[in-house]
Amino acid sequence: MTRTADHAIEAHFIDRWSPRAFDPKPLPEAELMRLFEAARWAPSCMNSQPWRFVYALRDSADWELFVGLLNEGNRAWAQNASALVFVGSFTLMGFPGQPPTMPSPTPNFDTGAAWASLALQAHAQGLITHGMAGVDFARAKTELGVPDTVKLEAAIAVGYPGKKEDLPEALQARENPSPRNPVSSFAFAGRFPSAT
């Protein structure tokens, strides 16, 4: 499927998508750190930087644990990724020089910006990413030692492009870039419509 923009934008926004076919080869940790470096520079409320990432590289001691925290459907293909990352939002913030004690107004919004930065950096490095909500969040909270001040948001598979033919048959037909709704369906001048 060819995707085209209705307005002039940079090609990386259109070219990036979320494949499920991964080539199960190791990813150097330094390459993963580049993704986190890109996430580091995402905008955030009062520069609070609420994103939190925990990761396992393929063949590391934690790999099987991370794979096991995904639901069965995601496990079938994400086990071929080179890294699995769980992302959470730190829900407190404070003024500069003070401990974070007040509820943050935008931790999820800000963490989403960090995830987008990570995904675009991965694309620039020739890597693919796929975010997943199909996670056993309750178990992940316990197994990964997530504190009560952090809300787990998603898991992310990171790695190298693989072959569509290596996916389970049911997923092969879905292994295409998806279309997007037109801008007119979500951007409105002046007021929200009564039904959005």
User: What's the pTM?
Assistant: 0.95
Query: 69 is in which domain, residue-wise?
Result: 33-162
CA-nearest of 136, 138, 131 to 112 is 131
In a domain, 188, yes or no: no
pLDDT tens sequence across 42-92: 999 999 999 999 999 999 999 999 999 999 999 999 999 999 999 999 999
Say how many domains are in the chain.
Answer: 1
In a domain, 41, yes or no: yes
In a domain, 115, yes or no: yes
In a domain, 85, yes or no: yes
pLDDT tens sequence across 106-126: 999 999 999 999 999 999 999
| CATH code for the domain of 107 | 3.40.109.10
CA-nearest of 118, 97, 110, 130 to 17 is 130
